[in-house]
Amino acid sequence: MAYQIDLKTFTDNRGHLTVIEKVIPFDVKRIFYIYGVDGSTRGGHRHHQTIQAAICLKGSCAIYNQDGINERVFELNSPDQCLILEPKDWHQMFDFSEDAILMVLASEYFDLTDYIYEPYIIHDRLRELAASQ
């Protein structure tokens, strides 16, 4: 299941300095960022191998996560918070503020065959059954 980590931040009267060093549980091979989102939902996948670290550098967004057993919505609204997404974590990013910049560090280079777009169907059926009772 996805989890959040605090990034070491130094603050004084000049501002803040946040450091990403020895806290990401993988070697970074790819960095991308998402901004200017028009209200759309992004993501909607999980991976075979890729681990990701998501940091909302500016503004805010939410990330829905499910791993086949658990589900949770993480609110990202501070550049000193980092969400680690394991390969099994099916996720969707949504509710971006107008000024949001979401940076993602990835353990693998882009490879379309690493993506799994289907959410966990068994989990969804169990949730539907529980709701109908």
What does the domain layout of the chain look like in residue ranges?
3-132
pLDDT exceeds 80 at position 123: no
Is 127's pLDDT higher than 90? no
Q: In 3D, which of 99, 117, 103 has the Cα closest to residue 37?
A: 99
Determine contact, residues 64/92, Cβ cutoff 8 Å. yes
- pLDDT bin (cut points 50, 70, 90) of residue 78 is very high
Which residues sit opposite 76 in a β-bridge? Answer: 61
Tens of pLDDT, residue by residue over 81-121, are: 999 999 999 999 999 999 999 999 999 999 999 999 999 87
What residues are labeled active site? 45
The per-residue pLDDT for 121 is: 72
Given a cut of 60, is residue 29 above it in pLDDT? yes
Q: Is the pLDDT of residue 133 over 60?
A: no
- Name the burial class of residue 75, with classes exposed (0-12), middle (13-18) and buried (19+) by CB atoms within 10 angstroms of its CB: middle
Q: Indicate whether 69 pLDDT > 80.
A: yes
**Annotation: CATH topology of 3-132:** Jelly Rolls (2.60.120)
Residues in the chain: 133
